A and B are shown apart, each in its own frame.
Chain A
Amino acid sequence: MQFDQILQYTLSGLSTGAIYALIGIGFSIIYNATGIINFAQGEFVMLGGLLTLSCLDLLKLPLWAAIPCAVAVSTVVGILFERLAIRPLRHPTPINLVIITIGGSILIRGLAMLVWGKDTHTIPAFSGDAPIAIGGATILPQHIWILAITLIIIMVNKVYFYHTISGKAMRACSYNRRAAGLVGIDVKRMVLFSFIISSAMGSIAGIIVAPLTMTAYDVGVMLGLKGFCAAIIGGMSSGISTVIGGLILGVLESLGAGLISSGYKDAIAFIILLLILFIRPQGLFGKADSERV
């Protein structure tokens, strides 16, 4: 029985962790391209879920069409955010930019509250909700979707950053923006790209998790913070370390809630965040001056 329980905690933790990882990678990509922490990242997660709901209910689209539609609209919001809030800034010091992203997140959340109301909404699971037994534990088909989609996104990311020109250009920006500019890379365009990629990823995370956890205008806050924790554990890398960071966080949360006390679930995430920042600010796996991509 004890083994079954631990297996269940781990499986639940892995699927929550995969979501944290996707959001965390979104944080890292923008951080690497611009040097800022985009605190509006969580709002794209919220937008993904709620836009899918609207596509299903109002436009009567089938699920397979509603999802790309929602991702596209969230990405447009990401582009608008970069164009209207980040780019026009005359003195883009990191602190100004961070404050702008916080303001942006409050604005997006407020608008979402007006559009979708304060209620919680749910979207149907992608392929039914008959539980699947693994050993003594059970998971839902949606968990498999989450793990699979996360895996695919991470692989696409890898290919993009290492095997395409614009991906390599973004990596160049993250090493040294000035030098990247000097060799002819359009740094501003790379910043826009980074917002496109991370808003799309955030919204996908929001969509695949919505059938399990439901969604509302304010889900972005907590998910955003957890994703940020994952990115910090991973040392702000947009690669595998952030993924592992997210998974560690998810599993520890789940084990902590099950074995110690459910009251401390969120505390566990934030204690880990503080410990990492105090002891290993470069991330769990990073060397002091590691590459960030």
Chain B
Amino acid sequence: MKVKVLSYVAAIITILFSTSVFAAAPIKIGALFAVTGPAAFLGEPERNSAKMVIDEINKAGGVKGRKLELVAYDTTGDATKAVQLATKLIKDDKVVAIIGPSTTGETMAVIPVAEKEQIPLISCSAGSKITDPVKKWVFKTAQNDALAVGKIYEYLQKTKQTTVSILTVSDGFGASGREQLKSQAARYGITIVSDDTYGPKDTDMTAQLTKIRGSHSQAIICWGTNPGPAVVAKNARQLGIKTPLFMSHGVSSKKFIELAGEAAEGVRLPSGKVLVCDVLPNSESQKKSLMLFVKDYQKHYKSEGDHFGGHAWDAVMLLKNAIEHGADTPAAIRDQLEKTKNFCGIGGTFTYSPQDHAGLGKDAFVLVEIKNKDWVIVK
């Protein structure tokens, strides 16, 4: 009898104990961001945003009573390191999903690991080839370059401009943009009359712009990330070039306006909606998420939230939604992610499907113009 009672007590204690352990065990989410190194401008806001949103989810009691735990590593923008750290996240930290990496090169290197180990990967980089063709375990939150290019070309077609000069930076971002600019031109009836590049560390582009001026194109499209495009804008102003200047979404942050100063006036670029969230109409479905993100980021880091941080915010929120739907194993999370419909995030409205792991449409971008040191939506 005594033994029986004791065994009951033991059983009850075990159950209590195990459930309490179960409830307390956080769900581990891995993250790979290039916090230092050449891609730090991506990795730093991404890590900050991911940390911020996970802290907030936990403060509000976690997801279905379980806390989330972020295990974030710095890849320094190095693909080899990213692969090692991805393996570490999966084997040692036993994460259920990985957010990142920040650059396309790193993501392409990490994809085989995620596929082999069957862990969902939500990349924060933009390259189209990440989800084209679709890989079972790989999703992404950053807008495709193709969408940004399409946005500019659409506008040019509408305003009947048919000849453009392109000036792209000679790194991964610029090369991918250049490819898209060239391959989509014919579809919009546009001819590229001059095709130039500049180095990521170049400090003077007057030579390229002088050549472009000689080509008499109707528009100039520059594809790069800061600080190059700011130099291009300044040089164009110096040379007195009146041709409309278009930039990529790579410079859609206040930093560009600050760097280019007066020369930024009149520059047009496709941008995620986060930049212009306060001038968006209230009917916009993304507005709530956007305002929340921007205000939060401002509060925590005393700087403006940008769309790079937004990619990480989206990734965490997508995971949160999947976990809310009862998924807590890698396989279940993957299946839930694929069922995501009309999720209003920072980058756009996401709808994943077995055929589409990028999830965004052309409405992810708006074309903005810089006027009086601020953004104005181009109608």
| Binding partners A and B | yes
Asked if A97 lies at the interface with its beta carbon under 8 angstroms from chain B, I say no
Binary flags per residue of B192-234, CB closer than 8 Å to A gives 1, else 0: 0000111101111111101100100000000000110011001
Tell me the complex Cα distance, A255–B208, Å: 10
Most chain B CB atoms below 10 A, which of A214, A255, A262: A262
- Taking the nearest CB of chain B, how far is it from the CB of A139, in angstroms? 7
Asked if A258 lies at the interface with its beta carbon under 8 angstroms from chain B, I say yes
- Taking the nearest CB of chain B, how far is it from the CB of A63, in angstroms? 15
- Taking the nearest CB of chain B, how far is it from the CB of A158, in angstroms? 28
- Taking the nearest CB of chain A, how far is it from the CB of B124, in angstroms? 18
Pick the interface stretch among B78-86, B236-244, B293-301. B236-244
Pick the interface stretch among B47-55, B108-116, B257-265. B257-265
Tell me the complex Cα distance, A262–B210, Å: 12
Of all chain A residues, which has the CB nearest B256? A120
- Taking the nearest CB of chain A, how far is it from the CB of B156, in angstroms? 23
Of all chain B residues, which has the CB nearest A226? B203
Known: A122-B261, A262-B197, A263-B197. A257 touches B207 (CB 8 A): yes
Is the CB–CB distance between B198 and A209 below 8 Å?
A: no
Asked if B353 lies at the interface with its beta carbon under 8 angstroms from chain A, I say no
Contact of B204 among A16, A120, A216, A219 (CB under 8 A): A16
Most chain B CB atoms below 10 A, which of A120, A216, A219, A222: A120
Is the CB–CB distance between A212 and B237 below 8 Å?
A: no
Known: A1-B214, A262-B197. A12 touches B231 (CB 8 A): no
User: B321: which A residues are within 8 A, CB to CB?
Assistant: none
Is the CB–CB distance between A257 and B208 below 8 Å?
A: yes
User: B234: which A residues are within 8 A, CB to CB?
Assistant: 129, 212
Tell me the complex Cα distance, A121–B256, Å: 10
Contact of B240 among A119, A131, A258, A266 (CB under 8 A): A131
Q: Which size bracket describes the interface of A in this complex?
A: 20 to 34
Is the CB–CB distance between B198 and A262 below 8 Å?
A: yes
Known: A131-B238, A263-B170. A8 touches B206 (CB 8 A): yes
Asked if A176 lies at the interface with its beta carbon under 8 angstroms from chain B, I say no
Known: A5-B214, A214-B259. A12 touches B207 (CB 8 A): yes
Tell me the complex Cα distance, A255–B204, Å: 12
- Taking the nearest CB of chain B, how far is it from the CB of A85, in angstroms? 25
Asked if B64 lies at the interface with its beta carbon under 8 angstroms from chain A, I say no
Asked if B255 lies at the interface with its beta carbon under 8 angstroms from chain A, I say yes
Is the CB–CB distance between A138 and B204 below 8 Å?
A: no
Contact of B238 among A118, A120, A139, A258 (CB under 8 A): A139
Which A105-125 residues have C-beta < 8 A from chain B?
118-122
Binary flags per residue of B145-172, CB closer than 8 Å to A gives 1, else 0: 0000000000000000000000000100
Asked if A96 lies at the interface with its beta carbon under 8 angstroms from chain B, I say no
Q: Which size bracket describes the interface of B in this complex?
A: 35 or more
Asked if B41 lies at the interface with its beta carbon under 8 angstroms from chain A, I say yes
User: A164: which B residues are within 8 A, CB to CB?
Assistant: none
Asked if A213 lies at the interface with its beta carbon under 8 angstroms from chain B, I say yes
Is the CB–CB distance between B230 and A265 below 8 Å?
A: no
Known: A138-B238, A139-B238, A213-B203. A119 touches B210 (CB 8 A): no
Is the CB–CB distance between A266 and B237 below 8 Å?
A: no
Tell me the complex Cα distance, A96–B282, Å: 66
Of all chain B residues, which has the CB nearest A8? B210
Contact of A9 among B210, B231, B263 (CB under 8 A): B210
Which A221-256 residues have C-beta < 8 A from chain B?
221-222, 254-255
Is the CB–CB distance between B259 and A254 below 8 Å?
A: no
Is the CB–CB distance between B227 and A216 below 8 Å?
A: yes
Is the CB–CB distance between A265 and B240 below 8 Å?
A: no
- Taking the nearest CB of chain A, how far is it from the CB of B1, in angstroms? 71
User: A255: which B residues are within 8 A, CB to CB?
Assistant: 207
- Taking the nearest CB of chain A, how far is it from the CB of B175, in angstroms? 11
- Taking the nearest CB of chain A, how far is it from the CB of B198, in angstroms? 6
Tell me the complex Cα distance, A265–B40, Å: 26
| Chain A residues near B (Cβ < 8 Å) | 1, 5, 8-9, 12-13, 16, 118-122, 129, 131, 133, 138-140, 209, 212-214, 216, 219, 221-222, 254-255, 257-258, 262-263, 265-266
20 A-B pairs within 8 Å (CB atoms) are namely: A5-B211, A8-B206, A9-B206, A12-B210, A118-B44, A122-B258, A129-B261, A129-B262, A131-B237, A138-B240, A140-B238, A213-B203, A213-B204, A213-B231, A221-B201, A262-B196, A262-B197, A262-B205, A262-B207, A266-B199
5 closest pairs, A vs B, by CB? A213-B203, A257-B207, A258-B207, A120-B227, A12-B206
